[in-house]
Structure formats: C-alpha cells, structure tokens
Amino acid sequence: MFRKLITALPLAAALALPAVAQEFPDRALRIVHGFGAGGNADTVSRIMAEEMSKTLGQPVVVESRPGAGGTVASGYVSKEDPDGYTMQLMVGGHAVAAALYNSLPYESVDGFTFISTLGQFPFMVAARSGEYDSIGALIEAAKASPGSVKIGHSGVGSTQHLTGELLALRTGAEFLHIPYKGGAAASTALMGGEVDVVIDTGTVIRPQAEAGVYDILAITSGERWPDAPDVPTVSETVADGFDVVSWTGIGMPAGVPDDIADKIRGAVHDALAVPAVSDKIASLGAKPSPSSGEDMTALIEGQVAVWTDVIATAGIEKR
Amino acid sequence: MLDQFLLGLSVVMQPNVLMYAFFGVFLGQLIGVLPGVGAITAISLLLPVTFYLDATTSMILLAGIYYGSQYGGSIASILMNLPGTPSSVVTCLEGYPLAQNNRAGLALFVAAFSSFLGGMVGVSILVLAAIPMTVIALKFGAPEYAMLVILGLLAASMIGTGSQIRSFAMVILGIALGLVGADATTGYYRFVAMPELADGISLVSLAMGLFGVSEVIRNASRRPAANAKPLSVSMRDVIPTRAQARSLAFPIVRGSSIGSFFGALPGTGAAIASFMAYAMERRFSRSPEKFGTGHLPGLAAPESANNAASQTGFIPTLTLGVPGDAVMALIIGALILNGIIPGPRLMVDQPELFWGVIASFFVGNIILLLINIPLIKLWVLLLRIPYQKLYPMIVIMICVGVYSHRTSVTDVLLTLAFGILGYLMKNYRFEPAPVLLGFVLGPLLEDNFRRTMLLYGGDFTVFLTRPISAVLVAFSAFLIVFAIWSSVFDARITKRSTK
C-alpha cells in the first residue's frame, strides 16, 4: 500500500504541476445544456463552442443533458466544480422553472455564477392572415365571447404558454390555451385552423408571415424590435408596460473565481463580436446581447418574479 | 414538374454535391447500424460542418444521413435482433428468424431492395403530389389523429405471434410505460420517480432493452456451440427466387403506400408506418401463421414503409417549413443558419434548393442500393464471430449508444432493466413488439384525444361530424365487426371439421 503511494506521489505531482504553472484554461471546456440534440439551445451552444475554442485555445465540447425543461442540466451544472471548465447554456426557461417547480435540486439564482446573456428575443402574436385587423381586434373578440379564441402554445409551462396567460391577465381577455408538443406543432394547428392564435418566436412565425400565411399582430417586447420596426408592441396597444423578452445566456456553477469568470466573459463577448457568430444568432431570431454578470442576474431575478405571479394567478399546476 | 426535377438533378450531378450526397447516405447507413445512435445525434454533431457549406449541399448531406440511417437500421435488426432505429423494430420480427435459419443474406437483400423501392415511391410522391399531400395533412387535426391512432391500434392488435390476449396485454403494458413523464395537457408529473424521467422513458432505451439486451441474455444462457454451423454467403443464396420475388410485389406496394401516407403527417413518422405496414400484411396474408418465423412479405412491407415514410416526411418540412419531427427541426435549423427561411415560399424562391434536395433523394436511394448489395457478404461475416466475443461488444455498443442519446446514466440502467424484462417476457412467451407499439401510440392517442376534448368542450360527437374522422371511425368499426365475424366463422369451421 505504502509503496504504491510512494510511486503514485511523483506522478500526481507531475499531473498537478502544469495546472498550477499554466494559465487557465489548460484542458477542454464544456458547454452543458438541458435540451435535445438539435434544438435551438443545442445549435446556439455549438455556434458558441466553435468560436470560443478559438479564443480560449482549448476545445469546447457541447454536452446535451435534456430533461424536465432544462432543470436536469441546471441541477447537474450547479453541483459541478466551479473551476471554470463547466459552462451551461441557459435559456429563458431557467427563470420559468424557478417559478414553476415546487422544489428544484438547485438554487436558481444563488447556485450559479452568471457570465453573460448571448441573445435576447421577443415573441410574436400571430393569427391566420386576415382573421384579425389588429391585436386590439383580437382582444375585443376574446372579451366579447370569453374562451372562444384559442391560443395554441408549445407546451404547458413553456414561456410561450405563460406569455399567453400574461396577455390574458393584463388585458382581462379570456382565452382557451391549447397545448401542443413544440412550436412547430402549434404552428401547424394554426395553419390548419384548429387554433386562432399562436405566440411564438420569430423563427416559427416569420417565415409564414413573409409568405402571407400569417399576420403578426404584435410583438411582446417593451419597445419595438429593431428587426421588425413596423410591428406594434403589446405594450403600446393593449397592455401598457407589457414586456416579455426571452434569452439565451451562459452560466457557471456558483463560486467561480472572478478572474476566470472574467476570462470566460471576455471570450463570450469576443465571440459575439465576430460577425459570423452574431449573424447566426440573429438568423435564429435573437438580438446579440453581450452583458455583464450583474445584468444577467437582474434579468433572471425580474423574470422569476413575473412568472411566479403569472403561475399563481392563472392557476397553473406547480410541479 | 419534370423540368423542375431535371433542374434538381442538374444541381445534384455536380461532382462536389454528389460527393456530399454519397458521404451523407454512407454515414447515415453506418449510424443506422450502430444500436442506439440515431440520425439526430449524427446530424447535430455535423451541424457546425454545414456552416462552411452552402444551404443546398448542407441539406443534401443532413437529409442523406437521415434516410441513410433507415437503411442501416435494418442490418443489425436482421443479424442480431438489434434495432438500430426505432423504425426497424418490426424488421427484427421476420429478419432475425431468417438470419437464425442461415438466410441472413437473403433477408438483407430483401430488406435493401424493399427499402430502395419504398424510398423511390416516397420520392415520387414527393415530386408529384407534395402540395395535395400537404393539403390533406393540414386537414388532420386532433380528432383525426386520435381516431387514426385508434384505427392503428385495432389494426395492429394482431401484431404479436402468440395469442391475442397476450399480445393485447403487452399493448397495455406499452401504454402504461408511455404514461410516465409530464402529462402534456396539464404538465402534471406522472410516475416521475426521478427528474430524468420527467420527459418520459426513452423509446431508444425501451427498444434496445426489449430487443437487443434480452437477446444477448438469451444467447448467453445457450451453449456456445450453437452457431458453429457453416454460413453460406454465395450470391445465389442471397438473391430471392422468382417465386419469392413475386410474393413480395404486393407487400412492397402496400408497405410503400402506408409509409408514404404516415410520413406526410407531421408527428407520426417512420416507426408507426412500419408497425402499420406489418400489421396490415398480417391481416391480408393468406398464411398469417408464417409470420414470426422468417416470412419474407413481413420483412418487405415494413422495410418499404419506413423508407417511404422517411422521404414523404420531408413534405411538411419543404412545403410549409414546419418540421414533422426532431430530425426535421434540425435540418430546418441548418437552413436558417445558412440564411434561408424555410417556409411556404421555399419552392418558389429557392427552386434550385427545393428540387436539388428532392433530386438528391432519388440519387441517394440509388447510391444506397448500390453500396448495400455488395456489403451483404461482409455483414453476414459478422455472424461468424463467436457469441462470447460478439455479445459483450454488442452490450457495450448499446450502452454507449443509449448514453449518447441523452447523456443519461439513468437511460443506460433502464435499458439493462428492460433487457431483463424482455428476457423474462420471452421465456413466458410474451412478445416485445406490441409493447413498443403501445408505447409509441398510447401517448399520441391520449394527447390528441384530450386536446380534442379541450378544443370542443368535451363534445364526443365531433369525432363523427368531422368527415375524415368519421371515415376513420367507420374503418375501425368495420375492423371490429370483421374480427368478430371471422372469429365466429372460424369457430364454426373448426367445429364442423372436428365432427
């Protein structure tokens, strides 16, 4: 036993030495995310990994740990070593989960070191072309005959669903919310006439709008969106102060040393400054939005508060 | 139509595009052979590569991986009872008995050729009828899907080879397993013993466990000398006789039609298509007792169905820009990253891309047939590896494949548990295929039925007042009456003959 230890010691020292001597990072990094291979989160992770591996000089590997709306991955990441080698690609659902789940195996805000948001994107309220003149007309129709206007959404507890509930709360209109498995299925139902409205991201809505199949009635961001300046906001038309913007961002386990967090943040911001990267983020319907860790923390805290309120008021079953 | 198709062919025939088409289908083929590693894993890994390719080439490459994997999926099913993809589960039912009777070469040939014909039918429908098929698909709302699934469950209730009651019990077990996870209508967690189960049991775990792992356990408990018999791999044993070929014509036509139809409906896909094709074949067969023993029509029909479905699956993707499943969503994602908006205007705005991709399916299927036939001899040689060396490797490959799917150790453990369950089931003569069927169709039925109730305020008559739904109900009613009538009739005949 002792002899084994003696022989192992120099080996361990040899292994440990370069870690001390060399600068961070000296081995491969990971971006973990909580969604299926090929989803939006996966794509954004791969775009970032590709570019960040150039700046950091080490390979960046993407790891998909799907399950329970991303909470499996968040639980996993928050318990990893805060050594800077494990990153998580987070989405707006991180804030939703904090409000939706009775108990989570992690602290949604304190369990993480937030690095930077990557992209922010609004949702679009769409109907079949010619059905409603405006968002005002839609709300009027829903008020005139409560429960007759059907909103298709991408799943119970999705940000899309909660945005629809929030729209109902703030306008006093009553909708029938119909769950589908994903935005594409909801969009198909809108095309086929099964539902009247779909609230989803630009990637789902805009191709159909450009082909004249849908009208975009309104956008959910507080201000008009630079990418679609002609579309009125919900806030300026039917619900003053309405502001729903979802996001993607990078987080790490709580307790990452500041210098390492800054280095990662630098690499993230550098990547977002590369036109090829920001173009791709933009093509996915998002506005590239490098931020500080404090801004990202504040964004998440604000959204947790809003969604907690919506879930309680709309009577959505907590998990 | 022909002009446009020729335009597409001219795009594909450029040497570099052709090279990517070849690379795609070849890679897909290999991925399909590996148990548990699906097309989706391969495509997401290759996504960054497409950043450096133009949109048409990326799409040809990624699509090739997808339908190539449907070809590859049948190989491990036939040789080792190991469904490489969920849609090749049914291929095990007839393919594996054939391989055990020393007819692996023939089975592989029939599978490859049926796949090719099915794929070609699918492509032809894509070329000739993409728009009408889209119109029909959009007419399918929640009530129609619910009734279609009921019809499917009824039609497939004879899918097992044992008794009806046993097969029915296994469908129920499958439905029960499908209940695990978040309820799609309320979000309520059902039987979620650990967070990894919140999205339900993975289909890959269930299929790999019930088929692959259980077979390994079964073989481990046999004497190792069992496979010492010499294997024939001469081309004469591989090619079907004229009589065999003739018996396959109608199964392939039926399989391709069923596959083409299910493929075009978003959210159903190749796995259901192959189950339906197999069930139909048994229904219409004059010798249903031969099913499960290595009956060629039972192999040809589902093989042509899943390949037809994987081609017509591109209909909603290409005509509407709406992905029918996760793989299609990924392919659409690749287009978006290339700055192309996939939507109803794709066909008009990007004719080269639209028709180039379709023409690549045509070329890709020919390439797949050409690489599959010579490889048959090579694949059959796999069976010469002694069990004690082959099976540990298979178990490792299954574990790696399942793990790569969702990076989840829980999934791996579940796969092994389902392997033990599958072994016990086999010992007590319960078939695994109906479990898979119930597992796939059960949630689809529940989801669409409850959505119907939500949409129409709990009104049951909607199933009869909507025309397509009413027709499906009529078919189901006919099947029930037919089953009762034929069982009474059969009973009378047996009574008379015993007198």
Reported as a single tens digit per residue, the pLDDT across B344-379 is 888 888 899 999 999 999 999 999 999 988 888 888
Mean of pLDDT values over A245-269: 95
User: CA nearest A249: which of A301, A300, A304, A305?
Assistant: A300
Check if A154 contacts B (Cβ < 8 Å).
no
pLDDT, mean of residues B59-67: 92
Per-residue pLDDT at A294 exceeds 50: yes
Q: Is A228 exposed, middle or buried (0-12, 13-18, 19+ CB in 10 A)?
A: middle
Banded model confidence at residue A21, pLDDT cuts 50, 70, 90? very low
Distance from CA of A2 to the nearest CA of B (A): 35
Ramachandran region of residue A283, left (φ > 0), alpha (ψ -120 to 50) or beta? alpha
How much of chain B, in percent, has pLDDT values that exceed 90? Answer: 39
Look at residue A51 in the predicted model and tell me its pLDDT.
93
Shortest Cα distance, chain B CAs vs residue A192, angstroms:
5
- Opening angle at CA B260, ends B93 and A205, nearest 5: 120
Do residues B397 and B248 make contact, with C-beta atoms less than 8 angstroms apart? no
pLDDT score of B422 more than 80: yes
Percent of chain A residues past pLDDT 70, beyond the cut: 93
pLDDT digits (tens, 9 = 90+) for B264-293: 888 777 888 898 899 888 877 888 888 888
User: Do B44 and A37 lie within an 8 Å CB cutoff?
Assistant: yes
- The answer to whether residues B402 and B208 touch, using CB atoms and an 8 Å cutoff, is yes
Place of tokens 């389902």: B418
Are the CB atoms for B111 and B123 separated by under 8 Å?
no
Residues facing residue A33 across a β-bridge: A64
Using the Cβ of B188 and the Cβ atoms of chain A, whether some distance falls under 8 Å is answered with: yes
Other Cβ atoms closer than 10 A to A284: 20
Whether A224 has a pLDDT exceeding 80, the answer reads yes
Q: What is the pLDDT of residue A216?
A: 96
How many Å apart are CA A121 and CA A245, to the nearest integer? 5
Among B404, B43, B330, B397, residue whose Cα is nearest residue A64: B404
pLDDT of A83-142, one tens digit each? 999 999 999 999 999 999 988 999 999 999 999 999 999 999 999 999 999 999 999 999
B475-483 average pLDDT score: 85
Section B184-209 average pLDDT: 87
Would you tell me how many other CB atoms lie within 10 Å of the CB of residue B296?
A: 23
At B323 the pLDDT is: 83
Distance from the Cα of A6 to chain B's closest Cα (Å) equals: 35
DSSP letter assigned to residue B84: S
Q: What are the chain A neighbours of B141 within 8 Å (beta carbons)?
A: 189, 192-194
Q: pLDDT > 90: what percent of chain A?
A: 74
- Token reading at B142: 């929640």
Q: Is residue A20's pLDDT more than 50?
A: no
Confidence of residue B52 (pLDDT cuts 50, 70, 90): confident
Residue B236, pLDDT above cutoff 50:
yes
Is this structure's pTM higher than 0.90? no
> What confidence score (pLDDT) does residue B418 get?
96
Q: State the nearest Cα–Cα gap between A10 and chain B, in angstroms.
A: 34
The neighbour count for residue B412, using CB atoms within 10 Å, is: 21
- Residue B46's pLDDT is 84
Rounded CA Rg of chain B: 22
- The confidence band for B223, taking pLDDT boundaries of 50, 70 and 90, is low
Instruction: Tell me the per-residue pLDDT of B111-139, one tens digit each, with 9 for 90 and over.
Output: 999 999 999 999 999 999 888 988 888 89
Which residues of chain B does A280 touch, with a Cβ-Cβ cutoff of 8 Å? 51, 337
Give the pLDDT band of residue B31 (cuts 50, 70, 90): confident
Half-sphere exposure of B183 (CA within 13 A, CB side): 14
The lowest-confidence range among A55-59, A198-202, A276-280, B220-224 is B220-224
- In terms of pLDDT, which residue wins out, A20 or A111? A111
Give the mean pLDDT of B375-393.
85
Q: Is B288 on the interface with A (CB under 8 A)?
A: no
Q: Are B407 and A33 in contact (CB under 8 A)?
A: no
In a 13 Å sphere around the CA of A306, the CA atoms on its Cβ side amount to: 24
- Bond before A25 cis per omega within 30 degrees: yes
pLDDT number for residue B232: 57
The pLDDT of residue A19 is above 70: no
Chain B hits for A213, CB-CB cut-off 8 Å, are 343-344
The mean pLDDT of chain A is: 90
- pLDDT > 60? residue B224: no
Average of per-residue pLDDT across A279-286: 88
CB of A30 less than 8 A from some CB of B: no
Chain B contact present for A227, CB below 8 A: no
Q: Which range among A13-17, B162-166, B358-362 shows the weakest confidence by mean pLDDT?
A: A13-17
Q: Which of A62-76, A263-277, A280-294, B41-55 has the lowest mean pLDDT?
A: B41-55
Do B406 and A185 lie within an 8 Å CB cutoff? no
The whole-number pLDDT of residue B271 equals: 82
In whole angstroms, what is the distance from residue B328 CA to residue B263 CA?
12
Q: Mean pLDDT in chain B?
A: 87
